[in-house]
Amino acid sequence: MYLSRIFNAINISVQEKYMTEILELNEKTKEFGLILTPDEVKNMMVARNKVLRDYGRVELGIEVTKELIEIFSESPYIHEDNYAATLTELHEIFYYLRNETEDKIGDFKLISMMKEMFDGECAGSVELLKSRLEEFAENFRSESLRESLFEGED
């Protein structure tokens, strides 16, 4: 439809701007020995756009991507060789979780929770993080369903 056409058009035009903003973050992540090349950023953004489309979401701006980079770069389990690939997977997990928790948890809280699990019980395993968060989402949904039944929402 008309709207998605505009979204795409706008996205293309600001691609450059996003690229610069993300590359600027290298300054901060350098201290952990983590650097993204322009090619890696480009691939990551392509993957992120695909994930957004697949999950039927619209995001104007790249706050989530920047937040993921800043928070996860501090993780002891992320190294230079798995940095870009992990970030791509984290995007996928994040938007999956965003949909599954029915937009009831804020961006920052979700990312912090992911980070905590990733560094803690998952010990840096993205696979484990995925399955833990699937469980979490399921519990969250049945919990909120119970609450809404209890409140007798119309």
* Amino acid (one-letter) located at 33: G
How far is the CA of 148 from the CAs of 106, 109, 119, 134, in angstroms? 19, 22, 33, 21
Element (H, E) at 132: helix 126-151
Q: Is 89 in the site for other proteins (CB under 8 A)?
A: no
Which of 99, 88, 7, 100 is CA-nearest to residue 43?
A: 88
Piece of the chain touching other proteins by CB under 8 A; list 23-31, 50-58, 74-82, 145-153: 50-58
Q: Is 52 in the site for other proteins (CB under 8 A)?
A: yes
Question: Are 102 and 115 in contact, with CB atoms under 8 Å apart?
Answer: no
**CB nearer other proteins, residue 79 or residue 109:** 109
Instruction: Output the smallest distance, CB 123 to other proteins, in A.
Output: 28
Q: What DSSP string runs through 14-27?
A: HHHHHHHHHHHTHH
**CB nearer other proteins, residue 7 or residue 77:** 7
Q: Is 1 in the site for other proteins (CB under 8 A)?
A: yes
Q: Is 10 in the site for other proteins (CB under 8 A)?
A: yes
Instruction: Output the smallest distance, CB 68 to other proteins, in A.
Output: 12
Burial of residue 114 (number of CB atoms within 10 Å: 0-12, 13-18, 19+): buried
Q: Is 107 in the site for other proteins (CB under 8 A)?
A: yes
* Member of 31, 58, 135, 149 binding other proteins (CB under 8 A): 58
Q: Is 12 in the site for other proteins (CB under 8 A)?
A: no
Q: Is 18 in the site for other proteins (CB under 8 A)?
A: no
